[in-house]
Chains A and B, each alone.
Chain A
Amino acid sequence: MKQSFFEIRENVKLADGVYRMKLEGDTSAITASGQFVNIKLDGLFLRRPISVCDVEGDILTLIYKVVGKGTAQMAAMQSGKLDLLTGLGNGYDTSTSGSKPLLIGGGVGVPPLYMLAKKLLAEGKSPHAVLGFNTKSEVFYAKEFASLGAGVTIATVDGSFGVKGYVTDALSGLDYTYFYTCGPEPMLKAVYNAASTSGQFSFEERMGCGFGACMGCSCQTVTGYKRICRDGPVLFKEEILWRK
């Protein structure tokens, strides 16, 4: 973990309610895809955790959805500095992927899979992304995944773009060795039940600190209590205990 200031270099709207912010600063603490940063914002007490979409040298890319005061404040920023804690969370483990891993993302669960796709491609693997959105106006990053060289399947709940239905409706017919997923918890649970292989899940939870101090985001797993922020956010399929 590292605390440092980042300069806002870009902040653009990608889709309905979804923005991309590029920040320049010390990215050295970010060691894996699936990690997150925790952002201090003026007037808000707790930091806001946002998953890392990409890192290129000293440029950090975040994609976030406006869901409350913090993200609304971020969306209005055009320049300035932000106080970030970086290198938080365990991130995805690519050693278990096999040759044809599936990347299953829902909404703002899509961004961390982008950096993961780059990593898997760099390791000589052939990732295929299945990205789910509510409707066409919320779709983002389909082209960016394709440009990397990953296969891409888009699903929208209303059928306005790509396959009609949920990401799990787009899984049939796909040949894969493993999967990585990130998205809302009902989607994660559906993927858990539908996927035919093992995989890794990135979870979201309201956090206090984001670095393991407060136990605010704990969950129960097969291997004991885990803090989503520090022992996660990525959990292996075999260790997940769904909450009742």
Chain B
Amino acid sequence: MAEMKVNLCGIELDNPVIPASGTFGYGWEFAELYDINILGTFSFKGTTAAARFGNPTPRIAECTSGMINAVGLQNPGVDRVIDTELPKLEKCFHKKVMANVSGFSAEDYAYTCSRLDKCDIVGWLEVNVSCPNVHGGGMSFGTDPKAAATVTKAVKAVTKKPVIVKLSPNVTDIAEIAKSCEAAGADGISLINTLLGMRIDLKKRRPVIANKMGGFSGSAIFPVALRMVYQVAGAVSVPVVGIGGVSSAEDVLEMMLAGATAVEVGAANLVNPYACRDIIEELPNAMEKYGIKSLSEIIGGAL
């Protein structure tokens, strides 16, 4: 029988498939579609200290084999997430969830993480230093090795839960930033966040997105993501979570061979709300096809 279990920073996952932050809300709304306990885990909507509406609309643009979003970290704020969203999730999800956190200063990240550290259902803190859609925060921490390390240290100081730093692809050398986070105490690295992109409306001669630019995701970015996962996995010894354009069981296998311990699925969920369920169901067949008995054995196999 196909063995799909993997160990992500000391917590065992039934399988490596994780809906990515921003494509699965706080999970409970998706429990009406299928039993979300079949997931390895999921990363919940990027959460900040205070509530945020995010950017003006339009926030979405179609691209060839992908999409651009400029949501801008809309979320109800950490208090409401803890008081309202997580209790709803606990009723339908019996595994540890990955808490995705964003901020506008190292102290800000640390505050939100310290609040979520107290929640039993939170297994990992995924620290997003890579959101391209906010000003004065987000990606500015993820494009500088020192700033990324400062945030990592600040978060590590307030929690014993594993800290996974989510990196931006919009940099010259992503491996350098990953190493800097590892040296600062990161327990894992997840990558990639979206690629900065834009579209122009030919009729209006204006950017489609109100915020002008946004994050490009979808199957089009898979080769770029895979390459960066390969580079980072070769540079650090902590577990790597592969993200970017994953939409099939075969994509999961490629990511794992490139060095990913687990794999997040993002934009595919928005086109097919059952994408993660379908990938999990398909994984044993794909493993058999390529002679894989245990997924944990293939991690980094292509390095």
Contact = CB atoms under 8 A, between A and B. Distances in A.
Tell whether A pairs with B: yes
Interface of A: 1, 3, 40, 44-47, 69, 85, 205-209, 211-220, 225, 243
Interface size on B, as a range, is: 35 or more
A47 B270 CA distance: 9
A215 B54 contact: yes
A218 B54 contact: yes
A200 to B, nearest CB: 20
Contacts of A213: 23-25, 29-30, 269-270, 273
Contact of B60 (A3, A40, A85, A206): A206
A217 B218 contact: no
A45 B271 CA distance: 7
Given A45-B65, A46-B62, A218-B74, A209 B273 contact: yes
13 contacts: A3-B272, A40-B271, A45-B65, A45-B267, A46-B62, A206-B61, A208-B69, A208-B270, A213-B29, A214-B69, A215-B74, A216-B69, A218-B53
Mostly, the A contact residues are loop
Given A1-B273, A45-B67, A220-B53, A212 B59 contact: no
Given A206-B208, A218-B59, A225-B74, 16 more contacts: A44-B62, A45-B63, A45-B219, A207-B60, A208-B59, A208-B60, A208-B69, A209-B270, A213-B29, A213-B273, A216-B57, A216-B71, A217-B60, A218-B53, A219-B57, A243-B57
A215 B33 contact: no
B223 interface: no
A241 to B, nearest CB: 11
A15 B211 CA distance: 36
B67 A85 contact: no
Contacts of A69: 62
Interface string B64-82: 1111010100100000000
B22 interface: yes
